[in-house]
Structure 1
Amino acid sequence: MNNITLPLLALLFYSAYAYLDPKDFGEELTKAANEWHDICTDITGATDDMIKQVRSGNFIEDEKMKRYLLCLWRVSRVADKNLKVDVEAIRQVLPQMLKKETPVKARDCLVNARNSDLKENYDKIYEVEKCLYNLDPEQFIMF
């Protein structure tokens, strides 16, 4: 797999869990995802209702929700504070089924958000998530 494909896979993954069955992630990743969720809801104050709305494509304009998504990217160590994607971290956590299918346009979601006029990383990640949802709402996943 080349270096361009893996960041695309990360983008698909790092919204994780709306339409994939949790068993597809395996026990270890499911446990980690639950921990990340708990950490990020505690830190940001995002509620499960907010998260459910975004999972279903209703991207509410709420700073807590935006910070929650950024927190997931950071706590999972998939992205650093500059939104640089860690390819090795992706290889370790990506469900096997997502390693096989990658929309080519997913990379553009991150590049466009990084290069946007948005100042805050949480706003940039939120734009990435919206873009990923719009690429394929049926494959959109999120913890």
Structure 2
Amino acid sequence: MNTTTKVMLAFFIYTVVAYMDPKDFGDKLTKLGNECHDICTDVTGATEEMIIQVRNGNFIDDEKMKRYVLCLCRVSRLMDKDLKIDMVALNEVLPAGSRKNVPSGARDCLVNARNSDLKEKYDKVYEMEKCLYNLNPDEFIMF
């Protein structure tokens, strides 16, 4: 499997988290999500109110919220500093059979955000989340 294929597959797996039913997360993913949530709210200052707004599709233009989303990706070790998905970390936490929930176009969300003219990584990751939300708002989940 070449590097491009691995990166695409890893991103495919990563985006599953945004479209899974929380009851299907399993112990590892639930624990990781809760830990990252607690760390990232403390580090960034994002509030529960802000997070709920984004969960509901209101992507507020707030640097704390943008940094929170990037923090989730980085603290979970699911994404590295170059905004590349870590396939090994994903495979450790994702429940088996969860890949079927990813909508088509999810890979484009990461590629477009990563290649955008936005300067800050938190802006790029936030754009990726907006894109993922827009692919399937009814199934979008964020910690």
Letter in 1 for 2:10: L
Q: Which residue of 2 aligns with 1:8?
A: 12
**Amino acid paired to 1:55:** R
Answer whether contact 1:44 1:64 (CA < 8 A) is retained. Answer: yes
- Partner SS, residue 40 of structure 1: helix
Tell me if the contact between 2:114 and 2:124 (Cα under 8 Å) persists in the aligned partners: yes
Q: Which residue of structure 1 lines up, in the alignment, with residue 31 of structure 2?
A: 31
> Separation in 1 of the partners of 2:122 and 2:16?
17
Q: CA deviation at 1:97?
A: 4.8
Are the counterparts in 2 of residues 11 and 106 from structure 1 also a CA contact under 8 Å? yes
The TM-score, its normalising length taken from structure 2, stands at 0.89
Match of 1:74, as an amino acid? Answer: R
Number of residue equivalences = 139
Amino acid at match of 1:10: Y
Q: How many Å separate the matches in 2 of 1:20 and 1:91?
A: 18
Instruction: Please tell me whether the aligned partners of residues 5 and 102 of structure 1 are also in contact (alpha carbons under 8 angstroms).
Output: no
The letter of the residue matching 2:47 is T
1:86 — aligned with what? 86
Question: 1:139, 1:110 → 2: CA distance?
Answer: 18
Query: Pairwise mapping of residues 72-83 of structure 1 onto structure 2 (< 5 A)?
Result: 72-83=72-83
Q: How does 1:41-80 map to 2 (within 5 A)?
A: 41-80=41-80
**Aligned-residue CA RMSD in angstroms?**
1.8
* Structure 1 gaps, min length 5: none
Q: CA deviation at 1:58?
A: 0.5
Give the Cα separation in 2 of the matches to 1:129 and 1:37: 16
Unaligned runs of 5+ in 2: none
Instruction: State the partner residue of 1:115.
Output: 115
Secondary structure in 2 matching 1:96:
coil
Distance 1:58 1:132, change over 3 A: same
TM-score (norm 1): 0.89
> Taking structure 1 as reference, are residues 69 and 130 closer, same or farther at Cα in structure 2, changes over 3 Å only?
same
Residue 25 of structure 1 and its aligned partner are, at CA, apart by: 1.2
Greater length-normalized contact order (CA 8 Å, ≥ 6 residues apart):
1
Higher fraction of helix: 2
Q: Partners of 2:31 and 2:78 in 1: how far apart?
A: 17
